[in-house]
Structure formats: structure tokens, C-alpha cells
Amino acid sequence: MTSDRFVKFKFAAKIASVAAGALVLAACSGPQGDQPSNAGGGTAPTPGGSGGSLRVAVVTHGSAGDAFWNVVKNGAEAAGRQLGAQVDYKSDGDPGAQAKLIDNAIAQKVDGLVVSMANPDALRTSIENAVKAGIPVVTINSGESKSAEFGAITHVGQSETIAGEGAGKRLKDAGKTKMLCVIHEAGNIGQNQRCDGAKSAFGNVTTLQVDINNPTDAQSRIKGAVQADPAVDAVLALNSQVAAGAVTAIKGAGSKAQVATFDLNTDVVNAIKSGDVLFAVDQQQYEQGYLPIVFLKLYKENANTVGGGRPVLTGPGFVDKSNVDTIAPFTEKGTR
């Protein structure tokens, strides 16, 4: 090879190497390779939080310290870190206060909004204002039936009625004949849907209202209810923390009723292993935090939507003695 040809060969090889490197970088960066269109009308976001060019406000109705909502938060923040998005998670169990948090997010001109709708009517105006401002909204967990009506691009969660039906069928198949369904948040339509679904599949169901923010009183009310009606042989809790109180209440009452519950935490996993809880309905709430961040990034950067007008279902799944050992390590990590 002549010297001139050798130089040309080396130059061509270098160009090819640079081009290949650029392709690898583009493939690794995925949607981040293009700058977001900022179609939501927001100002350019500033670094912070989980970091990144996309700012997403997550506003839920979770109570402070609620293990369920901590997992949702973990999912949203993990997605933010992985996708280079700034995620700001806030929550308030009071519907009026939750609406104000949404209003604040609109005023900050976020690029996307994720909202749980336990009380949809109280949030309607705020969510519709976000949509009018050009902010894409993904609803999660509760309020599925109102999601599209309010203008959200999709809903991520489980059908509470179907989940309730599944729980009711399982308890009926276990030979139970009378169920106490414990509602722990007044005005939460999803909890009523769970109990109604359980009733449609099970039959003989009564409901009990307690306050999740007063666990001692909740435990006392459950104990009193099973003592007053010895025919109750199944207690369906709608929250993992309530389930732990129900187990203690039933033992204290000397009742033979069995507990089943919605949602997981370490206590519920251990109770399933010991036989104190028959099963848990798992709506995989980590996905309810994680997936909306993915969907909003795709929507903002590639105009993608998911669901085809239907919700993206994260459940129901069921955890019992047959699969609890597989799930247990993930509850310890805070992802189930």
C-alpha cells in the first residue's frame, strides 16, 4: 500500500470509528437524544430532585408515612433517575389540600402531572386547568372512570371492582360465609368499589368505617365488630396497615375469622407466611409510580400514548403461601 493510500485508509477508518461511536451513543440515550418539545407550555426546567430535563409533579392522596404510597414514590423517583427526569412527589389525604398541590404544580409550569383521584370531583377543576395549560396528565390508582373525562392521557392502576370480585371469590372458595369489609378512608370511591366488588362475588358482606390515621381506634372497631357478630368468619382489609390491626383485633376478640387484605408490606408478607393473613391483593403500586414517568417522557418527546383509551392495569395480582417467598425480597427493598 502506498503512503498516500495508507493515509487515506487511516482517515476513512477514523471517520467510520467516529460514526460508529455516535450511533452507540444515540442508541444508549434513547428518547433523551432529542431535546423535549416542551409542548406543555412550561418554562425550561432547572436541575434538581431526581435531575433531568423533564419536570414531573406527582400529587397523591397518600397519608404521611403510609407504606403503600412510599412504594409509589419509590417507583416514580426510580423512573426519574433512570430517564433523566426531575420528579417532585407530594401528597395530602385532604382532597382540598390535594387540589391546591395540583394548582401549585400548574403555577410552576411543570412538564407533566401524575395524580391519584380518590375523590375525583374535588380535583376536577384543578386537573382540567392543568390540561388547559397544556400539561399532560396521567391519573393513577383511583378515579379510573373519570380519567378520560377530565382530559388525562391515560390511567395506571387496577380495576377496583374486578379486584374486589377476585378477593370475594377467593374467600368464598375458602369456605367463608360472612365477610366484614373495612373501609379506612371516608369518601374514597375506590374503597367502596372494592367492597361492592367483593359483595357481588361473595354475597353476605357488611362494611365497617374506620380511620387509617387512628390505628388504635380502627383496631378497636374491628375487634368490636367481630365480637358483636360471631358469624363473621372473614375480614377483608383494604390496606396493609389496617390488615395488621385486623389480625391483632381478631386474636384479641377470640374470633376464628380469617383476614385477607389489599396491598403488601413486610408485615403482611410475614402474616401470610405465618397463616394470619390468607392472601393479599397486590396492585403492584411501584408500577403506578414508575410507569407514568415513562409514559410522560414518551408523550413529551415522541407524542406516544398508551392504553388505546383504556387504563393500563397493574393488577390485581394475588400473593399467598404459594408465591410469598418469591415476593418477600421485593417488599424489603420497597418495590412491592
40-70: pLDDT as tens digits: 333 333 333 444 589 999 999 998 778 899 9
Q: What was the pLDDT predicted at 14? A: 42
Q: Are residues 60 and 198 in the same domain?
A: no
Q: Are residues 135 and 78 in the same domain?
A: yes
Tell me, yes or no, whether 9 lies in a domain.
no
The edge-to-edge listing of strands for the beta sheet with 234-237 is 205-209, 179-183, 234-237, 258-262, 277-282, 317-319
Tell me, yes or no, whether 85 lies in a domain.
yes
Tell me, yes or no, whether 225 lies in a domain.
yes
**At 183, is the pLDDT very low, low, confident or very high (cuts 50, 70, 90)?**
very high
CATH code, domain carrying 120: 3.40.50.2300
Q: Are residues 146 and 292 in the same domain?
A: yes
Tell me, yes or no, whether 42 lies in a domain.
no
- pTM (predicted TM-score): 0.79
Give 43 or 134, the one with higher predicted confidence. 134
Q: Are residues 65 and 92 in the same domain?
A: yes
Q: Are residues 89 and 142 in the same domain?
A: yes
Dihedral angle sign, alpha carbons of residues 205, 206, 209, 213:
negative
Give the mean model confidence (pLDDT) for residues 140-147.
95
- Checking if the pLDDT of 291 tops 50, the result is yes
Give the Cα separation of 27 and 52 in Å (integer): 18
Q: Are residues 188 and 133 in the same domain?
A: no
Bridge partners, residue 88, by sequence:
57
Least confident segment among 2-6, 164-168, 256-260:
2-6
Q: Are residues 165 and 235 in the same domain?
A: yes
Cβ-based burial of 232 (10 A; exposed 0-12, middle 13-18, buried ≥19): buried
Q: Whole domain around residue 306: which residue ranges? A: 55-158+284-315
Q: Are residues 148 and 68 in the same domain?
A: yes
Give per-residue burial for 87-113: e unless 16+ CB within 10 Å, then b: bbbbbbbebeebbebbeebbeebbbbb
Q: Are residues 152 and 119 in the same domain?
A: yes
Nearest Cα residue to 263 out of 241, 278, 247 = 241
Nearest Cα residue to 305 out of 172, 105, 153 = 153
Q: What was the pLDDT predicted at 53? A: 83
Q: Are residues 111 and 255 in the same domain?
A: no
Q: Domain count of the chain?
A: 2
- Checking if the pLDDT of 86 tops 50, the result is yes
Give the Cα separation of 203 and 201 in Å (integer): 6
Q: Are residues 116 and 199 in the same domain?
A: no
Q: What was the pLDDT predicted at 160? A: 94
> What is the number of alpha carbons within 13 Å of residue 155 lying toward its C-beta?
23
Tell me, yes or no, whether 16 lies in a domain.
no
Give the Cα separation of 320 and 171 in Å (integer): 12
Q: Are residues 144 and 197 in the same domain?
A: no
- Residue 123 has which C-alpha cell? 380535583
Give percent of the chain above pLDDT 90.
Answer: 81
Tell me, yes or no, whether 10 lies in a domain.
no
Tell me, yes or no, whether 28 lies in a domain.
no
Tell me, yes or no, whether 23 lies in a domain.
no
- Cis link prior to 215 (omega < 30° from 0)? no
